[in-house]
C-alpha cells in the first residue's frame, strides 16, 4: 500500500535521491514547495524545499534525518509543479493522516543541534569561488546584464550545461520567440519555469536584460525569486557604467559571480576585476 512522507532538503532532486536510497526506486514526488527564511521581506533569504513523496514499494525503514532543515519563517509558494499539479499559484498539501512526519519532541531538537554543528564545520568559506551556475532541477539562475548581453550566455549554458532558457526584462522578445524560449516575468511564469525544470531534470538560465540605471530590476527579481543571481558584464563597456549598474544589482540581491563577455573587443579586459566579483563561468 502506498505511503506518503513529508521531507525537506536543499533541492527537490536531493529529496528524491534520499527517498530512493532509503525506500528503493518506487518513489515519486507528489507535491512540493519552496520555503524561504530571512532575507529582505522574504526576498533573497536562505531557502530549502519541502516535498511530499509517495512510496509504493521497497524498504519500510524510516528515512535518515539528513534531509531535515530548520523551520521556516515564511513560505514563499511553490518551487515546482509536478505532473499532476493543476493550480499555478499554490500546491494543495496532502491530508495530515496521509503523512508520516517525525519532527517533534526532544529527539528532533537534538537532531537540529547536530545539524547546526555539522553545517558550521562543513560549510565552504564564503569567499570560495563558485563551481559554476546551479544545475539543480527546478532552480532559476538569473543572468542579469545590459540589454541583450545575457542572451548568448543563457544560450551557451543551455548548450553546454543542459540548462533550459528563458527571457525577462529587456531581453529581446523576438529572440525569445525565435528559439521558443518563454518569457518569465511574474510569479506564475516563474512557477511554470520551475515545473518545466523539474520535469526535464534541469535548471533554467533566465537572461534578464536591464538598462544602465537598473530600473525595474527590483520588481523582476522579486517576481522571479531566483535561486542564484549572476551578472553578465561586457569588458568592452565603460568601467564606470558597468560599476554603476552592477552596484545597483548588488544592492538588490546577493550576486554569486559574474560571467565576462566582450574580451575580444577591448585591450583591457581585466578592467572588470575592480568589481570584486569572481568569474564563475567562462561563456567563450
Instruction: Read off the pLDDT of residues 28-57 as tens digits, 9 standing for 90 and up.
Output: 888 888 777 655 554 556 677 888 888 876
Those residues whose C-beta lies under 8 Å from the C-beta of residue 134, and which sit 6 or more positions away, are: 141, 203, 227, 228
Using 50, 70 and 90 to split pLDDT, how confident is the model at 95?
Answer: very low
Residue 58: per-residue pLDDT? 52
- Mean pLDDT to the nearest integer, 188-195: 94
Residue 13: per-residue pLDDT? 83
Q: Is pLDDT larger for residue 271 or for residue 107?
A: 271
- Mean pLDDT to the nearest integer, 163-170: 94
Using 50, 70 and 90 to split pLDDT, how confident is the model at 234?
Answer: very high
* Summary mean pLDDT of the chain: 76
Residue 11: per-residue pLDDT? 85
CATH architecture, domain defined by 140-275: 3-Layer(aba) Sandwich (3.40)
Residue 146: per-residue pLDDT? 95
Residue 56: per-residue pLDDT? 79
- 147 phi and psi, to 5 degrees? 55, -120
Q: Which residue ranges does the chain devote to CATH 3.40.50.300?
A: 140-275
- Mean pLDDT to the nearest integer, 249-257: 94
pLDDT-wise least confident of 17-31, 104-118, 254-268: 104-118
Residue 109: per-residue pLDDT? 53
pLDDT beyond 60 at 264:
yes
Q: Is pLDDT larger for residue 154 or for residue 14?
A: 154
**Half-sphere exposure (Cβ direction) of 145: Cα atoms closer than 13 Å:** 27
Sign of the Cα torsion 219, 224, 228, 234 reads negative
Those residues whose C-beta lies under 8 Å from the C-beta of residue 104, and which sit 6 or more positions away, are: none
Instruction: Read off the pLDDT of residues 196-219 as tens digits, 9 standing for 90 and up.
Output: 999 999 999 999 999 999 888 999
Q: Is pLDDT larger for residue 72 or for residue 60?
A: 60
Instruction: Read off the pLDDT of residues 115-152 as tens digits, 9 standing for 90 and up.
Output: 444 444 333 343 456 789 999 999 999 999 999 999 99
- 174 phi and psi, to 5 degrees? -60, -40
The pTM of this model reads 0.57
Buried b (16+ CB within 10 A) or exposed e, 68-83: bbeebeeebbbbbbbe
Those residues whose C-beta lies under 8 Å from the C-beta of residue 251, and which sit 6 or more positions away, are: none
Amino acid at each position: 500500500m502506498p505511503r506518503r512522507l513529508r521531507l525537506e532538503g536543499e533541492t527537490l532532486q536531493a529529496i528524491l535521491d534520499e527517498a530512493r536510497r532509503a525506500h528503493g526506486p518506487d518513489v515519486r514526488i507528489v507535491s512540493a514547495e519552496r520555503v524561504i527564511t530571512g532575507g529582505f521581506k522574504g526576498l533573497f533569504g536562505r531557502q530549502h524545499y519541502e516535498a511530499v513523496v509517495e512510496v509504493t514499494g521497497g524498504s519500510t525503514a524510516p528515512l535518515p534525518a539528513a534531509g531535515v532543515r530548520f523551520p521556516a519563517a515564511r513560505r514563499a509558494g511553490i518551487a515546482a509543479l509536478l505532473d499532476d499539479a493543476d493550480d499555478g499559484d499554490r500546491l494543495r498539501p496532502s491530508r495530515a493522516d496521509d503523512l508520516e512526519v517525525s519532527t517533534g519532541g526532544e529527539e528532533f531538537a537534538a537532531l537540529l543541534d547536530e545539524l547546526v554543528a555539522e553545517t558550521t564545520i562543513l560549510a565552504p568559506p564564503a569567499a570560495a569561488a563558485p563551481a559554476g551556475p546551479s544545475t539543480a532541477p527546478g532552480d532559476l539562475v538569473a543572468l542579469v546584464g545590459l540589454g541583450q548581453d545575457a542572451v548568448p550566455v543563457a544560450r551557451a549554458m543551455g548548450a553546454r550545461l543542459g540548462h533550459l532558457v528563458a527571457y525577462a526584462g529587456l531581453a529581446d522578445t523576438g529572440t525569445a520567440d525565435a528559439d521558443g524560449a518563454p518569457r518569465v516575468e511574474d510569479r506564475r511564469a516563474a512557477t511554470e519555469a520551475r515545473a518545466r525544470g523539474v520535469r526535464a531534470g534541469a535548471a533554467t538560465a533566465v537572461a534578464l536584460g536591464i538598462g544602465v540605471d537598473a530600473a525595474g530590476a527590483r520588481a523582476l527579481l522579486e517576481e522571479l525569486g531566483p535561486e542564484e543571481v549572476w551578472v553578465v558584464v561586457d569588458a568592452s563597456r565603460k568601467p564606470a557604467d558597468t560599476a554603476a549598474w552592477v552596484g545597483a544589482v548588488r544592492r538588490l540581491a546577493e550576486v554569486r559571480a559574474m560571467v565576462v563577455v566582450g574580451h575580444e573587443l577591448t585591450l583591457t579586459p581585466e578592467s572588470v576585476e575592480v568589481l570584486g566579483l569572481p568569474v564563475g563561468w567562462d561563456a567563450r
